[in-house]
Amino acid sequence: MQALKERIRKDGRNLGGGILKVDGFINHQVDPGLMEACGREFAQHFKDSGATKILTAEISGIAPAVTTGIHLNLPVVYARKNKPITMPDQVFLTLAPSHTKGRMVELIVSPEYLADGEKVLIIDDFLASGATILGLARLAQTAGAQIVGIGALVEKTFEQGRTALEVLGVPIVSLVAITNMNGDAIEFA
């Protein structure tokens, strides 16, 4: 997607170690127009997936998931990283490594919002190693849901996450693919 690629060129920063700083328009401050365009693009790709719900991870996946949900007229559930007191005692929980936090994080979903028989579309900000998305898939599968597709705003192809996700056997769409982040470089496919 050209608009996202141009925004990364203009405002994204390679911080080294595979970290791409996009918090000025994706995950700290959000550019609503850009996210709306991304959601529209995902909706085009997944309109025939049969999805009944969109699943993402707190916090960075929420903006693209919600805009996709608007275009597909689907509810969005996000896996929380901390269990609030309003959540029931019995929850779906898994651990996934966080690249930016440098540690394992919990992903928690209430069974109230992810049910047996759901058809789940996973939307997230990054596809890097695939670990977070695999964690989301585990949550959905534990609930008895079926994964019907995966969308990521940015794929770092050099981290091989797509290969890790192939076990799910679903379509994987990334709007921008980055092939190299050595030195200060941000090279696109």
What does the pLDDT read at residue 100?
Answer: 66
Mean of pLDDT values over 171-189: 95
Q: May I ask the CATH class of domain 2-188?
A: alpha beta
Give the start-to-end residue ranges of the domains of the chain: 2-188
Global confidence as pTM: 0.95
Pick the closest to residue 128 from 168, 94, 99, 86 (CA basis).
99
What does the pLDDT read at residue 81?
Answer: 85
Question: What is the 3 state secondary structure string of 84-104?
Answer: CCCCCCCCEEEEEEECCCCEE
Structure-block tokens of residue 166: 């192939």
CB 65 within 8 A of CB 123: yes
pLDDT tens digits, residue range 80-117?
Answer: 988 888 887 889 998 887 766 678 888 999 999 999 99
Pick the closest to residue 57 from 160, 140, 146, 115 (CA basis).
140
SS3 38: helix
